[in-house]
């Protein structure tokens, strides 16, 4: 029996020795897939931003490459086909455009290409696009003003207003359904004229303004409080139309000024200065223009007729810039800057790769600058480019201010304030005392009432002092050192011997040794 067991054990050992020796193990659960990813949806977040959602995590950097995203359709508005930047991930991405906007409520389509999911499966070409409604902002009309605010049959009124962005065309403006005209054309601030019609109903007129921005978003403004139609034109104040005519002139000059200096930046700074109160600002502008026309010591240089043309050269491309310069104070230094969106960005982009009429430029026409645009801004599409030229004549100006203290006034052609160039001369002013007063001196020590400041190298602000005279004194002159009297009684507190009948006196405490002269 024992033998049988032993033999059986040997048989078992021989059986196990007949197979190879191996080890085994198992991995954790790991997904494997060969399904192609798809673009599930797109959503307009703002007028310049889309959100794109994919069916799964996507591989970078292809999923963040702007050129792999293309938008199309009427809802695109003024967006360029590809976004400026793409961020986010791995399955949801944000697409941003630097400029432009969508058309609100109108469909657009996003198409993607050149992408893979996290394991390398290419985008499904049958599911690589999605659509949504665009999101845009309508233009806003504001600062509506009508001058005069009341008008009768046949009277003309001036209508001004501002708009928040560039429009496709001049706004449509109607008064009680009748069209108004735009004598100065398109700008960020508009000026229209309207003549009161025979069938205009009496009372407050209905003013309607509407237009679309470049993306097609339509904005409107309705007003029933800015203009009142009267039955008789005689009821209008006499100043109404002349003031409106003056306002037309001022606004026309302002529009030309804004076009020359570059659009929205000027209006923004003007708004800041007037605190947003344009009615008050218009008055101040009118006064300032009137004063500027009547008195100017130092005229600023003027740049006009600025043009630019892009053309190829031997190696790349160049922009030829031409301008005219009026430099009454001498040669100017010229700087050039760029706007990428028609002036709304304030010409914030520098232009540095330039040659030509840039330094010591004198008055003349046809000044020429050559700009190597690729050196400054390579690989860019600038459909709304504008350039700004600034001329600096280096002139330093100083302000001369003359004030009068109590008892007098200042007389002269430019009596209160003058502006002169550095090193130039002012014009004469005179301190004039009131009746019963005499001129004492200027606050800077000048003793003559009439003064002319010459070779001015700094601002001057001085005040004339006056002294009230006793009744017996008819005049006073500190420079002469004495006054003139009709009946002067003087009491001397002194000690003398031998009863003298005449004295020699002085204000000096150490006065001595004086003698009469024959």
Structure tokens at 18: 């007949």
Work out the end-to-end distance of the chain between its first and last CA atoms, rounded to an integer number of angstroms.
Answer: 180
**Residues with Cβ within 8 Å of residue 479, at least 6 apart in sequence:** 447, 448
* Average per-residue pLDDT for the chain: 78
- Is the pLDDT at 24 greater than 50? The verdict is yes
Tell me the per-residue pLDDT of 201-213, one tens digit each, with 9 for 90 and over: 999 999 999 999 9
Q: In what order do the strands lie in the sheet with 437-442?
A: 417-421, 397-404, 460-468, 437-442
Average pLDDT over residues 24-48: 78
- Which pLDDT value is given to residue 70? 97
- Is the pLDDT at 266 greater than 50? The verdict is no
Give me the residue label for tokens 């237009």: 211
Residues linked to residue 433 through DSSP beta bridges, in sequence order: 408
Tell me the per-residue pLDDT of 415-424, one tens digit each, with 9 for 90 and over: 678 888 888 8
Average pLDDT over residues 124-142: 93
- Is the pLDDT at 284 greater than 50? The verdict is no
- Which pLDDT value is given to residue 463? 93
Average pLDDT over residues 297-325: 80
- Is the pLDDT at 86 greater than 90? The verdict is yes
One-letter-per-residue 3-state SS of 143-196: EEEEECCEECCCCEEEEEEEECCCECCCCEEEECCEECECCCCCCCEEEEEEEC
**Residues with Cβ within 8 Å of residue 448, at least 6 apart in sequence:** 479
Structure tokens at 349: 């982009």
Name the residue with higher pLDDT: 41 or 239: 41
Name the residue with higher pLDDT: 161 or 489: 161
- Which pLDDT value is given to residue 510? 76
- Which pLDDT value is given to residue 418? 87
Query: What distance in Å separates the CA atoms of residue 148 and residue 196, rounded to the nearest whole number?
Result: 12
The pLDDT-based confidence of 121 (bands split at 50, 70, 90) is confident
One-letter-per-residue 3-state SS of 59-125: CCCHHHCHHHEEEECHHHCCCCCCCCEEEECCCEEEEECCCCCCCCCCEEEEEECCCEECCCCECCC
**400 in Cβ contact with 453 (< 8 Å):** yes
The pLDDT-based confidence of 41 (bands split at 50, 70, 90) is very high
- Is the pLDDT at 464 greater than 90? The verdict is yes
- Is the pLDDT at 98 greater than 50? The verdict is yes
Lowest average pLDDT, out of 43-52, 136-145, 255-264, 344-353, goes to 255-264
Length, in residues, of the chain: 518
pTM of the model: 0.41
Helix axis angle for 240-261 and 278-294, nearest 10°, is 80
- Which pLDDT value is given to residue 35? 83
The pLDDT-based confidence of 517 (bands split at 50, 70, 90) is low
Name the residue with higher pLDDT: 264 or 305: 305
- Is the pLDDT at 364 greater than 90? The verdict is yes
Lowest average pLDDT, out of 108-117, 220-229, 262-271, goes to 262-271
Lowest average pLDDT, out of 223-227, 385-389, 393-397, 506-510, goes to 506-510
The pLDDT-based confidence of 111 (bands split at 50, 70, 90) is very high
Average pLDDT over residues 380-399: 85
Lowest average pLDDT, out of 63-67, 337-341, 465-469, 471-475, goes to 471-475
Name the residue with higher pLDDT: 517 or 431: 431
Give me the residue label for tokens 């665009």: 134
């Amino acid at each position: 029996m024992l033998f049988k067991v032993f033999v059986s054990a040997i048989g078992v050992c021989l059986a196990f020795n007949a197979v190879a020796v191996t080890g085994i193990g198992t991995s954790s659960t790991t997904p494997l897939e060969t399904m192609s990813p798809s673009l599930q949806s797109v959503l307009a977040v703002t007028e310049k931003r889309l959100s794109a959602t994919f069916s799964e995590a996507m591989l970078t950097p292809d999923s963040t490459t702007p050129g792999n995203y293309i938008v199309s359709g009427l809802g695109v508005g003024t967006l360029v086909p590809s976004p400026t930047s793409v961020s986010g991930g791995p399955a949801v991405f944000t697409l941003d455009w630097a400029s432009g906007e969508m058309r609100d409520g109108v469909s657009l389509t996003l198409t993607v290409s050149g992408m893979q999911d996290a394991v390398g499966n290419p985008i499904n070409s049958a599911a690589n696009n999605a659509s949504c409604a665009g999101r845009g902002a309508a233009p806003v009309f504001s600062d509506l003003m009508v001058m005069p605010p009341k008008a009768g049959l046949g009277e003309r009124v001036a209508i001004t207003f501002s708009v928040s962005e560039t429009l496709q065309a001049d706004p449509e403006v109607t008064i009680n359904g009748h069209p108004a005209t735009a004598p100065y054309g398109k700008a960020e601030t508009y000026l229209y004229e309207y003549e009161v019609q025979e069938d205009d109903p009496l009372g407050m007129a209905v003013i309607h303004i509407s237009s679309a921005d470049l993306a097609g978003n339509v904005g409107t403004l309705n007003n029933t409080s800015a203009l009142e139609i009267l039955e008789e034109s005689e009821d209008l104040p006499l100043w109404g139309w002349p003031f409106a005519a003056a306002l037309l002139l001022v606004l026309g000059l302002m529009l030309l000024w804004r076009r020359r200096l570059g659009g929205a930046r000027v209006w923004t700074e003007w708004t800041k200065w007037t605190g947003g109160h344009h009615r008050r600002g218009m008055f101040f502008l009118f006064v300032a223009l009137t004063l500027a026309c009547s008195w100017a010591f130092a005229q600023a240089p003027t740049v006009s007729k600025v043009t630019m043309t892009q053309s190829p050269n031997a190696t790349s491309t160049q922009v030829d810039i031409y301008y005219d310069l009026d430099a009454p104070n001498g040669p100017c230094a010229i700087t050039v800057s760029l706007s990428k969106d028609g002036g709304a960005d304030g010409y914030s982009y520098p232009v540095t790769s330039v040659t030509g009429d840039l330094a010591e430029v004198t008055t003349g026409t046809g000044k020429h600058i050559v700009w190597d645009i690729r050196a400054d801004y390579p690989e860019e599409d600038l459909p709304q480019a504008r350039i700004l030229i600034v001329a600096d004549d280096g002139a330093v100006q100083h302000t001369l201010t003359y004030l009068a203290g109590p008892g007098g006034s200042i007389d002269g052609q430019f009596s209160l304030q003058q502006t002169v160039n550095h090193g130039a001369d002012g014009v004469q002013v005179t301190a004039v005392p009131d009746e019963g007063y005499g001129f004492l001196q200027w606050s800077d020590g000048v003793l003559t009432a009439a003064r002319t400041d010459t070779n001015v190298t700094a601002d001057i602000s001085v005040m004339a002092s006056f002294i009230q005279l006793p009744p017996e004194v008819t005049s006073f002159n500190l420079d002469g050192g004495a006054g003139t009297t009709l009946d002067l009684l003087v009491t001397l507190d002194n000690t003398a011997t031998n009863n003298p009948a005449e004295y020699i006196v002085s204000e000096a405490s150490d006065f001595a040794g004086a003698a009469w002269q024959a």
